[in-house]
Chain A
Amino acid sequence: MSEKPHIVKSYEEQLQLLKDTIVKMGTGVEKQLENTIQSLVKKDISLAEKSIKDDELTDKYEINIEEQVVNLIALRQPMAIDLRETVVALKVSSDLERIGDLAKNISKRLTKIGTDLPNDITKNFEIAGLKASKQVNAVLNSYLHRAKDTAENVWNSDEEIDQMTNSNMEAAVKHLEKNKNDIQKVTQLLFMLKNIERIGDHATNIAEQVYFLITGDYLEGDRPKG
């Protein structure tokens, strides 16, 4: 349904502000994730440090969105599409905060172990990381443009990241068997790979919320799993 503006302008403005804040938070989280991945690609640790620093802003956005949602519920009692808009904003902000946290965690591990890492594993990490970034970008676009199909695509393609994570972990273990001295670095990399997989899961959570926002229904069936 295409929506007319509310009769009460201040209500319309509050809902618009909520949507805008989600988009701003999402853009920030995307940038955080990009800096994290590029830190490894470009072997530039300052990008990882920037991602860690920027997580503070992500956390602030989450608190701000929570305040906006509580205010809307208390003062406006939103109904129908407005109710879904409000509830979805709360859940999406929570998933975005987790994505930011996971990016920060990867960055922290990178600052510990440095960027001089086994090439075969980092290549895998880059590919999975870029795929997860793409998923986050796509799901945020689906939120911004109310694109149900895009949300469904994100939901359906999470299993690719899951499969990548499984094979990357196997590859990391194989590398370790041959290069026992890399144990510290590879252990950190295993956690980093797992974090990428979790980022994919959060993007999928957001896809479910966007689908609910647009249709009022829940995506049916089990999530495709790798």
Chain B
Amino acid sequence: MSKIKAENVNVYYGSKQALFDVSIDIAEKEVTALIGPSGCGKSTFLRCLNRMNDVIEICKVEGSIKMDNLELNSRKLDVVRLRENVGMVFQKPNPFPKTIYENVAYGPTIHGIAQSKEEMDQIVETSLKKAALWNEVKDRLDEIGTGLSGGQQQRLCIARAISVSPEVILMDEPCSALDPIATAQIEELIDDLKKEVTIVIVTHSMSQAARVSQKTGFFHLGKLIEFGPTDKIFKNPDNQQTQDYITGRFG
């Protein structure tokens, strides 16, 4: 079932067009990987899904992006509410310079989700457990989040994202700064999270896209060149440009 449906999305940074008529169906509770060379528009597209492009003044988004029939591109949309529902994890782990507990409790606090200290404790514990970090930090929740290892910080950011129970999580190269063990932990987490959440991940690692996703979209020069089941894309893509890219024949 489709969770997000984008139709003819065009994005401009001033006079420069970054995305051209991108149409894509992102399935619910699946992992969709977006791949492509640097500057191809995959992150731009990802940022359309929680209106992160709004913070760039010269950026203009056209076309329709619907999440469960809610038009994300509408001016009337409550963007804060949208970002509660569509969480985001970035390339570099970016925990707040606060305690581990506060990092996870931040979202539920500003959105007024927890009614009591006990309820907040429960949300923090559940989020950290879902992010597979609880066992490592349960005895030091009052320590500063930025003191954790890179992989732990990234899982803390995921715990922070899931603390407000989003339906979609966007990940922009979440493992590019992590070692293979931390990467495997994040990938295991992605596998686990997709039972409840729709995940869209931008990655430069072909093998990571192949490992974690069910659908893959290949972007090039602002266009979605090919989109389909991940095994098909990596075994026998229809498009020559896709094949050239994933086999390292590009350029």
Contacts and interface: CB of A to CB of B under 8 A. Distances in A.
Which range holds the interface residue count of chain A?
10 to 19
Contacts of A5: 249
Interface string B165-185: 000000000000000000000
B240 A1 contact: yes
A84 B249 CA distance: 16
Interface of A is mostly: loop
Contacts of A7: 248-251
Contacts of B236: 80, 84, 215-217
A4 B237 CA distance: 15
Contact of B247 (A79, A215, A216): A79
A83 B232 CA distance: 12
Interface in A39-80: 77-80
A1 B251 contact: no
A80 B237 contact: yes
A84 B235 contact: yes
Contacts of B48: none
B235 A80 contact: yes
Given A1-B240, A1-B243, A4-B244, A79 B249 contact: no
Nearest first, the 9 A-B pairs at minimum CB distance are A216-B236, A4-B249, A79-B246, A80-B243, A82-B247, A6-B248, A1-B240, A79-B234, A7-B248
Interface of A: 1, 3-8, 11, 77-84, 215-217
Interface of B: 206-207, 210, 234-237, 240, 242-244, 246-251
8 contacts: A3-B243, A3-B247, A6-B248, A7-B249, A7-B251, A80-B247, A84-B236, A216-B235
